[in-house]
Structure 1
Amino acid sequence: MSPSLQDNTSPWFNCLHQRPEAKCRLICFPWCGGGSQFYARWGKDFSKDVEVIGLCLPGRESRQSELLLMEFDRCVKILSEEIARLCSDKPFAFFAHSIGAALCFKTAEHLQEHFDQEPKHIFFSSSFAPHSQQIKDQVKDPEYTPPHELSNEDLTKCIAKMGGTPKLFLEDEDFMSRMFLPLYRADLKLMNGTKLLELNGKKPLSCPITVVEGNKDEDHRPKEFSDLTSGKFSHMTLNGGHFYLLKDDNCKRLKERIQKCIV
């Protein structure tokens, strides 16, 4: 029997619109401090050929009682095993926004190396490539402080600058210190566990890669993502900042692009 979400009890997957007959699964990686529900709702906007799954990491949403996972390699291994088991019967694609891109790439690489499975297409959104020289230079700076080690005040300022978090939440110090910042720090610490990638001329993937970004966000040097694959590379720019995808018109265009690429 082919695996399906109807009989899958994995806590990692959130799919509000199950489509057992879909031709492709779209698996979405959360941004820092984010959850699966935003993506799970996308399912209703795609055709019957696409089944959308939001990834739910430990310590949030339906997994709130679980300990936060802060070991990057362990997270990649577990997630790869879960995806390999679910997607052994049909193609799948990845979408990852912001810091979720690091987890997305390493999961794709692990799937290829250990399960001989590779996404049909990967969409990287508002993020630097895992081998970005800008990130390497930043980390080597003697005055560099890992984001998860910033004070509550400084970290809150960084979050506010990126947008995407309601002002009402940002101004609620009790909510930020007790609820949001611990989760945000855990994700930052998790992603801090990834090793800076050295390609040495090798292209680790063969699937097509599309990079999506807002025209008012910082320059993420999208062309660098083409170094990751021997497959086709494309780039899409939408009007907005780091969280351009929270705008309805942008999200509609993004989904249309994804649908066209994976079906």
Structure 2
Amino acid sequence: MTSAVDTGIWIRRYRPAPDAGVRLLCLPHAGGAASYYVPVAAALAPAADVLAVQYPGRQDRRSEEPLGDLRELANRVADAVGEGDDERPLAVFGHSMGALLGYEVALRLEEAGRGPVRLFVSGRRAPSAVRPSEDMHKRTDSALLDGVRRLSGTDAQVFEDEELVRMVLPAIRADYRAVETYEPRPGDRVRCPVTVLTGGDDPMATVEEARAWSVHTEGPTDLHVFPGGHFYLNDRAADVLTVVRAHLGL
């Protein structure tokens, strides 16, 4: 794994940019890890200082119990971001589970008077876009892994390594529990602008479900639809980064 500057157990800085005018907090998808954002850090440095969040239960935190409560995760991440005296503007980017988590983190930061300048939500329908009850986190190990595999966001070789599967499965299950048991509080809205990014063929979020993020902010929203499914950004990274740079003035 690419080495990172130690900024506490929650935040990884793979390409530190202390002179950058803006920080970008990046939140991984369910089952994901901070290292997913190594390419983002490399692409945006030194214009932006990318802070990638490492959830417990994976990679260098694999010995820790994963958290299956999205609100508790948001509390921990918001606290970690608030540590220190870095007062540079902060933007938040989250994909899939990371989008919901980013929304909750943004709410907490705003309550503390340190709100983000922009929230980027990717690959996730709006909290108000309700679907029938989901139960992936209650399924058998094989059914859960099949569901993750179908989204095509994880290297197929991971599933061929039984020891590695046993290692990551508790974190995946906890992440799905966090998402599937999450309920937004009525009336909650962030104040910052929200940029919505989604794949046109994403089974987890239709374009209209993604567009519904507009009701969760008091600021403006803009929607960007890319070719591809749930992990459209793996193939469209350059296009996604173009949107991020434009909104952050990089």
With structure 1 as the length reference, what TM-score do the two structures score? 0.84
Q: Say whether 1:226 aligns with 2:214.
A: yes
Once residues 36 and 42 of structure 1 are traced to their aligned partners in structure 2, the CA distance between those partners, rounded to angstroms, is 11
Aligned to 2:119: 122
Q: 1:43 aligns with which of 27, 41, 44?
A: 41
40-49 or 226-235, larger mean C-alpha shift: 40-49
Matched, 1:216 2:201: yes
Compared with structure 1, are the counterparts of its residues 169 and 43 closer, same or farther at alpha carbon in structure 2 (3 Å cutoff)? closer
Measured against aligned partners, the alpha-carbon deviations of 1:66-118 in whole angstroms (never above 9, x if no partner) come to 222234333222211111225751111111111222211111111112x1121
Deviation at 1:169, TM superposition (A): 2.9
Superposed CA offset, 1:7-52 (max 9, x none):
x631111111111111110111110000001213312211522111
CA distance in 1, matches of 2:183, 2:201: 29
Task: Classify the secondary structure of the residue corresponding to 2:223.
Answer: strand
Decide whether aligned partners of structure 1 residues 157 and 65 sit closer, same or farther in structure 2, where only a CA change above 3 A counts: closer
Per the alignment, residue 142 of structure 1 pairs with: none
Question: How far is 1:193 from its partner?
Answer: 4.3
Give the Å deviation of 1:174: 5.2
Q: In the TM superposition, what is the alpha-carbon distance from 1:231 to its structure 2 partner?
A: 1.1
TM (norm. structure 2) is 0.89
Segments ≥4 residues shifted beyond 6 Å: none
In 2, the alpha carbon distance for the partners of 1:28 and 1:86 equals: 18
Other-structure match for 1:242: 230
Q: Structure 1: how far apart are the matches of 2:51 and 2:197? A: 19
1:230-262 deviations in Å (ceiling 9; x for gaps)? 211101111211101111xx1011111101101
Question: Larger radius of gyration, structure 1 or 2?
Answer: 1
Alpha carbons of 1:87 and 1:24: their partners in 2 closer, same or farther (altered >3 Å)?
A: farther
Query: Contact 2:198 / 2:230 at 8 angstroms: preserved in 1?
Result: yes
User: Which residue identity lines up with residue 235 of structure 1 in the other structure?
Assistant: L
Question: What is the rounded CA distance, in whole Å, between the counterparts of 1:165 and 1:18 in structure 2?
Answer: 26
RMSD (Å), alpha carbons: 2.1
In the alignment, which residue of structure 2 is the partner of 1:14? 12
> CA distance change for structure 1 residues 237 and 86 in 2, over 3 Å: closer, same or farther?
farther
User: How far is the alpha carbon of 1:153 from its aligned partner?
Assistant: 2.3
Give the corresponding residue for 2:32.
34
1:71 & 1:206 partners in 2: Cα distance? 24
Residue of 58, 62, 72 corresponding to 1:74: 72
1:205 matched to 2:202? The reply is: no
Is the contact made by 1:69 and 1:75 (CA closer than 8 Å) also made in structure 2?
yes
Deviates further, 23-32 or 190-199: 190-199
Which sections of structure 2, spanning at least 5 residues, go unmatched? none
C-alpha displacement at 1:213, in angstroms? 0.9
Q: Distance in 2 between matches of 1:174 and 1:205?
A: 41
Any gaps of 5 or more consecutive residues in structure 1?
140-144
Distance 1:215 1:9 in 2: 36
Q: Does structure 2 retain, via aligned residues, the 8 Å contact 1:126–1:212?
A: yes
- The answer (yes or no) to whether the contact 1:40–1:53 under 8 Å persists in 2 is no
1:169 corresponding residue in structure 2:
158
CA distance in 2, matches of 1:47, 1:55: 17
**Alpha-carbon distance change, 54 to 9 in structure 1, aligned in 2, over 3 angstroms:** closer
1:154 corresponds to which residue?
A: 143
CA contact (8 A) 2:29 2:97 kept: yes
Check whether the contact 2:196–2:222 (CA below 8 A) recurs between aligned residues: yes
1:184–1:41 Cα change, 3 Å: same
Percent identity between matched residues is 26
Task: Sort the Cα spacing of 1:73 and 1:41 in 2 relative to 1 into closer, same or farther, 3 A.
Answer: same
1:224 aligns to what SS in structure 2?
Answer: helix
- Greater CA deviation, 118-127 or 45-54? 45-54
Counting matched residue pairs gives 243
Distance 1:151 1:205 in 2: 36
| Structure 1 residues 40 and 172, CA gap change in structure 2 (3 angstroms) | closer
Q: State yes or no: 1:252 paired with 2:249.
A: no
Once the two structures are superposed, what CA deviation does each residue of 1:116-175 show, in whole Å capped at 9, x if it has no partner? 12111111111011222x33xx12xxxxx5211011222122112211123333355554
* Offset at residue 206 of structure 1 (A): 1.6
